[in-house]
Structure 1
Amino acid sequence: MKLRDSDFDKTKFIKSLESIIYLFLVLPLIAFGWVFLEKEKVGGLRATFFENTDVMFHSVMAIGIGYILMRTTATWKRDILRALDKTQELDAKMSAVRKPIIYRNLMWALGAGIGAYGLYEKGDMVYALVFTVFLLLITSNRPSERYFVKFFGLKGDEKDWMLKSGTPK
């Protein structure tokens, strides 16, 4: 197993990355909770999507949601791994994916914000589903030791090091 920095603390790295990602989620989560409670109080939630619909609004929202999903899921992992092909050191790989992971989660938080805004504007419960999809994407792809093992396809010593606590010897 190769490391560029023998003092690299993977636990500290992962926790700081996780903190940043959850900070991105706070604003859409607060907005969604507030909007949901306000709409419920005035009876503004609608379970039907096609009744009295605003095609232009829903189309713009669908384009935004589709763009975010395509940009962050379709080829994201393959492109990142291709860019890291020549990097051998595991700590360098982890440091290199920091910004792309932050960007992807920022985009997902924006998608959750779209869900909250759609619920605010139209009261259609389909936007609660949109919010839930992005919430699931953020929480199921949170950085952890197991996430990096799966992401990089680690085996042997690298996998053992990643799953054990502490820094390398």
Structure 2
Amino acid sequence: MKLENPDFNKKAYFKKLESVIYLFLMLPLAGFGWVFLEKESGNALRSVFFEEPDIMFHGVMLIGVGYILMRTVLTWRSDMIKYLDQFEALDVKLKMIQKPLIYRNILWAIGAGICVYGLYEKGDMLYALIFTVFLILITANRPTGHYFAKFFRLKGEERKWMEE
């Protein structure tokens, strides 16, 4: 196992990165709570999506959400693995993936924000469902030792070090 800095504190690194990621989630989460409660109090939530649909509005929202999901779910991992293959030390790989991880989670927070806006404008519960997808993506991919061990496909001593 190669480390450039033997004193690298991975637990502090994980906590710092996790704090930054959840900080970006707070604005859409607070917005969702406020919009949901406002719509609920006014009986403006709609559970039937195809009843009087606004095709142009929903189409633009779908394009935004689709782009974010395609960019962050379908191609992101392979792009990162290609980029990180040039580095051998695990601590360097972790440092180099920090900005792309934050960028990916900012995009997920923007996707959640799109859903909040859709819920605010139309009151369709479909946007609450898609918002939930973004919450699941953010929480399931939070930076932990297990996540990085799986992401880098580590084995043996490297995996043990990462998951400790």
TM-score by length of 1: 0.96
Partner Cα separation in structure 2 for residue 57 and residue 107 of structure 1: 20
Task: State percent identity of aligned pairs.
Answer: 62
Partner Cα separation in structure 2 for residue 129 and residue 39 of structure 1: 15
Q: Deviations over 1:3-60 (max 9, x none)?
A: 0111110000000000000001100000000000000000000011111111100000
What is the root-mean-square deviation of aligned Cα atoms in Å?
Answer: 0.6
Partner Cα separation in structure 1 for residue 139 and residue 96 of structure 2: 21
In the TM superposition, 1:3-152 aligns within 5 A as 3-152=3-152
Q: Deviations over 1:95-116 (max 9, x none)?
A: 0100010000000000011111
Q: Which amino acid aligns with 2:59?
A: S
Q: Which amino acid aligns with 1:75?
A: T
Cα distance, 1:85 vs. partner? Answer: 1.1
Partner Cα separation in structure 1 for residue 36 and residue 69 of structure 2: 23
Cα distance, 1:86 vs. partner? Answer: 2.0
User: Mind listing any 5+ residue stretches in structure 1 that lack a counterpart?
Assistant: 165-169
Cα distance, 1:128 vs. partner? Answer: 0.3
Cα distance, 1:123 vs. partner? Answer: 0.2
**Secondary structure, aligned partner of 2:69:** helix
User: Mind listing any 5+ residue stretches in structure 2 that lack a counterpart?
Assistant: none
Q: Higher relative contact order at CA 8 Å, sep ≥6: structure 1 or structure 2?
A: 1
After TM superposition, the runs of 4+ consecutive aligned structure 1 residues lying more than 2 A away are none
2:162 corresponds in structure 1 to 162
Q: Deviations over 1:126-155 (max 9, x none)?
A: 000010000000000000010000000011
